[in-house]
């Protein structure tokens, strides 16, 4: 920006060259000039040289803009849901969006000491009888959606207290790691009911209580992953089905989600 004094001086000289009659009604830089000269000079001067009072206006606008930006940013951040995460696993339900904090037992492992085998680590297609035998050997506490005609099952037992029962129609898909199969996951949590119901209150999802007293929750963006908890039972049960709407239907069906044994 050019020097205000230099610019003002140039403008003044230009006007003085045009002004022939001076009257002492107004002053510019201590010089008496006519009112017409003064008015014209003021107009031209303000167009070329920022007036000192305008800096305060600029500062005020900047402060107001900063305050409004902060307020809007804070409001948006406050409106976002709190995300609670459950310890993730690379097996069972691939890419499952965990939304609840799981509390494991004090030992941090399942109550069973059964050795890992193909039958309980997801490596074998099991009949209903074989599945129940494996669950019994692990001490129970594993849930599913009941038997399905012509289906086989896999059982994946994780020592941290996570168990996955996967459904294989006609025994197909044993080595398929995609989300194309129904999976019922059981997560051991002594405070399961309180954990899920409390988390649901501060999450932007869908939740309600079944007529039998069980509680259902699912996130709007992942409706295929439905969580079910039952009062006085230390388990979070996650229901996944690739068919849209099926997970919720399974969770809402009275008595369908139950212990394998």
133-153 pLDDT, tens digit per residue, is 999 999 999 999 999 999 999
Dist. CA 239–CA 185, nearest whole Å: 7
DSSP state letters, 68-129: HHHHHHHHHHHHSPPP--PPP-SSSSTT----S-----TTSS-S--PPP-TTTBT-S-B-HH
What is the percent of the chain where pLDDT is above 70? 59
Tell the residue number behind the tokens 């107004």, with chain if given: 26
The listed CATH number (3.30.2310, 3.40.1000, 3.40.50, 3.40.30) that belongs to domain 128-259: 3.40.1000
Please tell me the predicted confidence (pLDDT) of residue 90: 32
Closest CA to 108 of 162, 156, 152, 174: 162
Q: What stretch(es) of the chain map to CATH 3.40.1000?
A: 128-259
Contact 128/153 with Cβ under 8 angstroms?
Answer: yes
For 102-143, the pLDDT digits (tens) are 444 433 344 444 567 889 999 999 999 999 999 999 999 999
For 55-109, the pLDDT digits (tens) are 566 677 777 777 766 555 444 344 333 333 333 333 345 444 444 554 444 333 4
Dist. CA 235–CA 228, nearest whole Å: 9
């Amino acid at each position: 920006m050019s020097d205000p004094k230099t610019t003002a001086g140039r403008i003044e000289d230009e006007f003085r060259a045009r002004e022939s009659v001076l009257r002492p009604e107004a002053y510019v830089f201590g010089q008496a000039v006519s009112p017409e000269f003064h008015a014209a000079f003021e107009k031209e001067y303000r167009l070329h040289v920022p007036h000192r009072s305008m800096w305060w206006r600029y500062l005020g606008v900047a402060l107001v803009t900063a305050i409004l930006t902060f307020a809007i940013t804070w409001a948006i951040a406050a409106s976002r849901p709190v995300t609670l995460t459950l310890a993730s696993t690379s097996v069972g339900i691939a890419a499952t969006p965990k939304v609840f904090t799981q509390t494991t037992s004090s030992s941090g492992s399942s109550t069973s000491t059964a050795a890992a085998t193909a039958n309980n680590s997801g490596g074998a297609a099991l009949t209903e009888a074989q599945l129940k035998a494996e669950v019994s050997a692990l001490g129970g506490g594993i849930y599913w959606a009941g038997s399905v005609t012509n289906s086989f099952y896999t059982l994946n037992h994780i020592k941290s207290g996570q168990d996955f029962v996967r459904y294989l129609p006609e025994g197909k898909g044993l080595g398929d790691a995609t989300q194309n199969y129904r999976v019922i996951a059981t997560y051991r949590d002594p405070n399961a009911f309180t954990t899920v119901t409390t988390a649901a209150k501060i999450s932007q999802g869908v939740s309600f209580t079944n007529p039998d007293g069980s509680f259902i929750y699912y996130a709007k963006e992942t409706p295929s992953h439905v969580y079910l908890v039952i009062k006085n039972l230390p388990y979070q049960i996650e229901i996944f089905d690739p068919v849209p709407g099926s997970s919720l239907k399974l969770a809402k069906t009275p008595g369908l989600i139950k212990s394998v044994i």
